Structure 1
Amino acid sequence: MATKKIQSALISVFYKDNLEPIIAQLKAQGVKIYSTGGTQKFIEEQGAEVIPVEELTGYPSIFGGRVKTLHPKIFGGILHRRDHDGDISQATEFDIPAIDLVIVDLYPFEETVASGASEADIIEKIDIGGISLIRAAAKNFKDVTIIASKAQYGELEERLKAQDGATTLEDRRYFAAQAFQVSSNYDTHIFNYFNRAEGIPALKVSESKAKALRYGENPHQAAHFYGDLEELFDQLNGKDLSYNNLVDVDAAVALIAEFKGETAFAILKHTNSCGVAIADSVKVAYQKAFEADTTSAFGGVLITNQNVDLAAAEEMNSLFFEVLIAPSFDEDALSLLKGKKNRILLRQKIQIEGTKQIKTLLNGIIEQDKDLQTETKADFKVVTKVVPTEEEQDALVFAAKVCKHTKSNTIILSNSTQLFASGVGQTSRVDALRQAIEKAKSFGFELKGAVMASDAFFPFPDCVEIASKEGISAVVQPGGSIKDQDSIDFCDANGMSMVMTGVRHFKH
């Protein structure tokens, strides 16, 4: 039958929140309830009669609770087909009662791992009986309703109320799909825990939280975000984040993380920074970042790693921007910034963790380590006769940080506290440099004494030749070209300093 009245239920759950209304409904419908341990006690406290599973199976809970429901009378009651003569005959022969509803959840494996518990405690949170019951009931959805998560309690309650204690085939198939999502997610996290040590070359990704976005990169593209944004941000104002907002926010968060212990501000557009600066206050850092490109800042994503006070808010409030991210906001600053109802304000609560990046490509997925290497002065190898001054070395560190987070091919021009300009995403490094020079000049920056950073080596000396003509005094680059010496020789002949890091930072 497509619609089936629930006459018996097996309930065994770790989380009992909001289970009471379902128990009340089952009690009112006269449903026979089987249960175990703490769940049995909880149901009895609701005034419902319960048959202990041990009474059905003839076995107690054994091995410290590892085996409670793993028994033919339980799994036979779930899996036997109600329209199959052979199954019905065997169920009668072995006195196996039908079970029409299974409500079961899983031990909190993810939470236990996240808590830093011992391996012994983590292993005990690998559910065996629960996962088996979920799969059995979901497989036999034609006859059985499976509820595998407390997140579905409300949906079940609504259906039982609306359908007089019955479920339709469509209901059961829906709940089965939800159940397999729960079980596959659970197994993925268990595998990933073990694979930390084993390094099996397999990629398992599972995110149970999903948010539909307005659209993708363009209006004709559908899009979703899978993950828990609320863990990372509190959204204090504005419209829902779009796909493009999220891509830019990701780039902004990664860039600002480079400036620990400093007051930094960055403005990004299409994942590239059009302004970055450090200063003694957020207000001044914003002013300096904005100076680098007052045109591209319009509609950009703004981020700082310090509290936004009223002085900073007043300074940036006249700019139209999509998103502002900060670790905190003063109340008066927040009140002012909320004056634009669509302006997205995010309070970043934690730093992003994780060491891997994945991307769909062709008919598969590519995975790589995140680029977590950031060069400091200690990593600089001076290759020229002229040694960069301390001020120039500070500027080279600053420029290299920005360069690392800019699309290749890229050239960054800066001093030690302010981005002057960037040449972004060019097919030629020379074109990237020319773009940066032209842009810096158009916004009034004097390049004499500025420094230059490149994400990859110079195959020819043309870049340092062009830079020298503009008065750029110091250069940082990975090195590694068979013609490195040509660039070094030019720098030596023209009084420029150059350091090499040995680390390339392509970004595509």
Structure 2
Amino acid sequence: MKKIKTALISVYHKDGLLPVLEKLNRLDVTLYSTGGTYDFITQNGFSAKTVESLTDYPAILGGRVKTLHPKVFGGILARSENESDQQQLQQYAIPTFDLVMVDLYPFEETLKNTHDRNEIIEKIDIGGIALIRAAAKNYHDVLVVPSLEMAPELLALLEEKNGETSLDDRRYFAAAAFDMSSHYDTAIFHWMNPGRIHSFKKSIRNVHTLRYGENPHQKGLFYGDMDRVFEQLHGKAISYNNLQDLDAAIHLIDDFEETTFAVIKHNNACGLACRENLTEAWKDALAGDPVSAFGGVLVTNRPVDTETAAEINKIFFEIILAPGYSPGALELLQSKKNRIILRQKSHAFPGEQFRSVLNGVLWQDADRVTETEADLEVKTETAPTPLEIEDLLFANKIVKHTKSNAIVLAKNKQLLGSGTGQTSRVDALRHAIEKANSFNLSLKGAVMASDAFFPFADSVEIAHKAGITAVIQPGGSIRDKDSIAYCNQHQVSMVFTGVRHFKH
């Protein structure tokens, strides 16, 4: 155990500092401080010594240099069991610091509030980060507190052990210090990087412990701030799999402007419809696959009213996500204790995606392309009708968010069937047709969307025989002419987008 006798405190924010000062004062700890922190300490009736009184050197360069001095860092880095270190402390009259408490300049907060380059640069902390790293390096002798966020933990420790700390205590705070410093430097790197330095760096300090991972025998955590995306109004804790479905649901619904309802199961839409009335959108979305909807994730881009909630309440589902709920709708939906009810907030997602593979990370730009009528190139003698064009664009939005290989069949802005994650495009199509037929959904006059090109004409032939009259696909196969020829022979329209939407 090691007694705290001398502390160096230099913090940007002062909220939460007063209880620490009161505790250190009761423990008779000698305080050293700088600038505004020194003023705060003395103005609140506590005694302290200035760093300048130790270094005999004033703060210079407008405060850029205050603590960067051998007498400060010597007192932090000196090893108690190293005889030479101790002799030099005595020789140069350097006090030993047992506690270093720092709160860094708010770099990330400044980024959010201004684009002024000079103001941002001035919030890159140099002395503070150096103090944190030095104290953390010498955790054998020094307790480092890298942020006032940790003040409650410091107070609890001081109270429990009456101002003494163990090696394990100091190592824990040192690890937190390096976590803080690496996060801080990562934020600076991303702001500073001109795009020519390719180094994968991510630091997310918000962590949520989940019930488990994909399966109960796997641990699961979420790093991020889900509170910025939605507000949980009711229900049990959100799981690992829930978050994957919610991610799929939000990105899908964001592509639709009309009143839309969708049902998500295992990251894919199993039901989706656009209607003028929300209740009708729900009914037609459910009709697309009422079996898969069991236990699914429901998402809409309109506030849920009481009439729609009454219809939704008739089935078992796990989660509903909407921009709002009427009081009556919320009361109805809360009838099941574990049902998760979320209110979606307006939130912009990053334009990048990454996942772990092998012993590394895959990175890519997010797929932000959503085709419009202007992007369609008619490749057949028969052109799609205006209603078919609406359905083609509708189906193409869904197939973009469906696991590959993917086929989507739709009519009148209703999802009739989809083939998801199949090993061949023909299998995906047959699965989609089987889905539609199993729920007695007519495919006569329906359209087909494919997430990638058709290497042969077989898929187009199968679709036509099932009733499909229009097809949307990216094109790009060396045998595109075969599919086009079949369509021309059977008066089926086909449009190319030129954009592939694989989603593995």
Matches within 5 A, 1:98-497: 98-195=96-193, 197-260=194-257, 262-497=258-493
1:196-223 CA deviation, whole Å, 9 max, x = no partner?
x233111101110111111111111111
Matches within 5 A, 1:43-62: 43-62=41-60
Q: Aligned residue for 1:9?
A: 7
Contact 1:7-1:31 within 8 A present in 2 as well: yes
1:150-182 CA deviation, whole Å, 9 max, x = no partner?
221111101111111111111101000000000
Contact 1:398-1:416 within 8 A present in 2 as well: no
**Alignment partners' CA distance in 2, 1:56 and 1:310:** 70
SS at match of 2:320: strand
**Alignment partners' CA distance in 1, 2:369 and 2:112:** 25
Contact 1:34-1:50 within 8 A present in 2 as well: yes
Residue 240 of structure 1: how far off its partner (Å): 0.8
SS at match of 1:198: coil
What residue identity is the alignment partner of 2:203? S
**Alignment partners' CA distance in 1, 2:169 and 2:358:** 37
SS at match of 2:367: coil
Residue 416 of structure 1: how far off its partner (Å): 3.9
Contact 2:52-2:58 within 8 A present in 1 as well: yes
Cα RMSD over matched residues?
Answer: 1.0
Residue 355 of structure 1: how far off its partner (Å): 1.2
What residue identity is the alignment partner of 1:24? E
What residue identity is the alignment partner of 1:254? H
Residue 498 of structure 1: how far off its partner (Å): 0.3
What residue identity is the alignment partner of 2:234? N
Larger mean Cα displacement after TM superposition, 45-54 or 481-490: 45-54
Contact 2:210-2:220 within 8 A present in 1 as well: yes
Contact 2:186-2:202 within 8 A present in 1 as well: yes
Contact 1:23-1:46 within 8 A present in 2 as well: no
Contact 1:263-1:279 within 8 A present in 2 as well: yes
1:444-485 CA deviation, whole Å, 9 max, x = no partner?
211111000000111111111111112211000011111101
**Alignment partners' CA distance in 2, 1:19 and 1:54:** 21
Residue 116 of structure 1: how far off its partner (Å): 3.5
TM-score (norm 1): 0.98
What residue identity is the alignment partner of 1:489? A
What residue identity is the alignment partner of 1:503? V
Q: Report the number of matched residues.
A: 504
SS at match of 1:414: strand
Residue 23 of structure 1: how far off its partner (Å): 0.5
**Alignment partners' CA distance in 2, 1:410 and 1:161:** 61
SS at match of 1:367: strand
Contact 2:229-2:346 within 8 A present in 1 as well: yes
**Alignment partners' CA distance in 1, 2:315 and 2:62:** 63
**Alignment partners' CA distance in 2, 1:348 and 1:25:** 43
1:43-102 CA deviation, whole Å, 9 max, x = no partner?
123321011111111122211111111111111111111121101110111111111101
SS at match of 1:97: coil
1:332-359 CA deviation, whole Å, 9 max, x = no partner?
2112211111111111112342111111
Contact 1:457-1:481 within 8 A present in 2 as well: yes
SS at match of 1:64: helix
**Structure 1: which 5+ runs fail to align?**
none
Cα gap change, 1:270 to 1:61, in 2 (>3 Å): same
**Alignment partners' CA distance in 1, 2:359 and 2:320:** 36
Contact 1:396-1:416 within 8 A present in 2 as well: no
SS at match of 1:114: helix
**Alignment partners' CA distance in 2, 1:46 and 1:28:** 14
